Structure 1
Amino acid sequence: MSPKLTKAEQTRRTRRAILDRARHLFATQGYAATGTEAIISKLGITRGALYHQFSDKLGVFKAVVVEAYDEITAHIRTRIEPLDTNWEQLVVGCQAFLEVAQQEELRRLVFIEAPAVLAVDTLVEIDQYGFGLLQESIQMAVAEGDLRVVDGEGFAHLVNGALNELAAWVAQSDDPQRLETAQQLIEALLIRHRS
């Protein structure tokens, strides 16, 4: 006989099940084509349980996107941790971000659905941690004399904008050459400003 789950554990499991099911549907069918009934139908829960966890479908989607951004950050960290210098971490970190644009679920969730569904200020808020890492790395590169730019914070916004646009471009195609080209372009942008 298995032990009875606590209310907190039941709530956690229900939330996890909703997020997993919603992520699959949003990534394969898109936000507009996914109704709350489709999310709950195979989970054996009520619409009330979904609304207890999230205010509405948009709340579920936002939570899915937050988790997707966490995965992107983890991917970047995995790629840069073995590297010795901040400069290498900056270049490889930017390139690693672009790699995500060809990972099927993340591509659709982050680069296609999220910009179409969520307000710009919501996306900026969700990406604040990732942008903070980029900004910190650029500031460090400036301080170490590796980058020569007019303003470190402004340059971080420039690189972030370039990364987001390149990622959207990469996400539109399965062609690995497009990813390689985008990675070369971001590296060229950084090298152009290297001291």
Structure 2
Amino acid sequence: MSSKLTKAEQTLRTRRAIIERSRYLFATKGYAATGTEEIIEGLGITRGALYHQFGDKLGVFKAVVAEAYDEMTDYIGHKIEGLEDSWEQLVVGCQAFLEIAQRGDLQRIVYIEAPAVLAADTLVEFDQYGFGLLHQGIQVVVEEGKLHTIDVEGFAHLVNGALNELAIWVAKSKDRERLKTAQALVEALLNSHRTTS
């Protein structure tokens, strides 16, 4: 029986190896300090293979960031799984987003390197799914009469902006208490619009 990989399997394996190696380097050294030679070192592939897969180093970085955003969405989904109250889902989901800012493997890539390297519209593109979930969560609590706001979409952007800024604030500090402060602030922001009835 042959265990030889098909071309498609080999391509997938090469792509995975590049992403994993790049992710480690971007998380530990940063984007600017990481060269393409360093990325392929020890992988048994050529620079041409990297360019064929991703175009350039920026293409590799975008793939790493896209994967990181998928992981963030999965993490938030896992945190709210099993919660039946829509208000609790909204608060816990927002707080879970902030927790990621202290996860070493994602912290530097998402909150420090990505905003410095990628254009704002690219970051918005990566955040579309996460923003969609936040928007939907706010829509639900408004429809249930648990939150009052002038405009649902506008409020979703307000909360999203606050979350992104707070996450960067948390990520750039070694103070572990800053996360608790950020989580309390976002909960206070949501509670300030919560209906009393």
TM class, shorter-length: over 0.9
Distance 1:118 1:73 in 2: 20
SS of equivalent residue, structure 2 residue 140: helix
Does 1:36 find its partner at 2:40?
A: no
| Correspondences of 1:153-172 after superposition (within 5 Å) | 153-172=153-172
Q: Distance in 1 between matches of 2:136 and 2:92?
A: 15
Name the CA distance, whole Å, in 2 between partners of 1:174 and 1:91.
Answer: 24
Counterpart Cα distance in 1 of 2:176 and 2:2: 49
CA separation in 2, counterparts of 1:104 and 1:81? Answer: 23
Paired residue type of 1:188 = A
Give the aligned residue type for 2:42.
K
TM-score (norm. length: structure 2): 0.97
Deviations 1:142-169 (A, max 9, x none): 1111110000000000000000000000
Q: Gaps spanning 5+ residues in structure 2: where?
A: none
Listed as ranges, the gaps of 5+ residues in structure 1 are none
Q: Offset of 1:82 from its aligned partner? A: 1.6
Determine the C-alpha separation between the residues in 1 that align with 2:116 and 2:9.
34
Task: Output aligned runs, 1:136-175, within 5 Å.
Answer: 136-175=136-175
How far is the alpha carbon of 1:176 from its aligned partner?
2.0
Q: Distance in 2 between matches of 1:27 and 1:95?
A: 23
- Aligned counterpart, 1:66: 66
Cα pair distance change 1:192/1:64, threshold 3 Å:
same
RMSD: 0.8
Q: Does 1:190 align with 2:190?
A: yes
Q: How many equivalent residue pairs?
A: 195
What secondary structure does 2:24 align onto? helix
Deviation, structure 1 residue 2: 5.2
Q: For the residues of structure 2 that align with 1:141 and 1:110, how far apart are their CA atoms?
A: 28
Q: What's 1:14 paired with? A: 14
Aligned to 1:123: 123
Question: CA offsets per residue over residues 90-133 of structure 1, 9 Å max, x none?
Answer: 00000000000000121100000000000000000011000000
Match of 1:82 in 2: 82
Structure 1 runs, 4 residues or longer, greater than 6 Å off: none
What's the % identity of the aligned pairs? 73
In 1: Cα distance, 2:139 partner to 2:85 partner? 14
CA distance in 1, matches of 2:73, 2:2: 37
TM-score normalized by the length of structure 1: 0.98
2:51 counterpart letter in structure 1:
Y
Aligned AA for 2:56? D
Q: Distance in 1 between matches of 2:54 and 2:171?
A: 29
Deviates more, 1:1-10 or 1:158-167: 1-10
Distance 2:64 2:97 in 1: 18
Give the distance between the partners of 1:6 and 1:177, measured in 2 at CA.
50
Amino acid in structure 2 at the alignment position of 1:127: D
> SS at the partner of 1:15?
helix
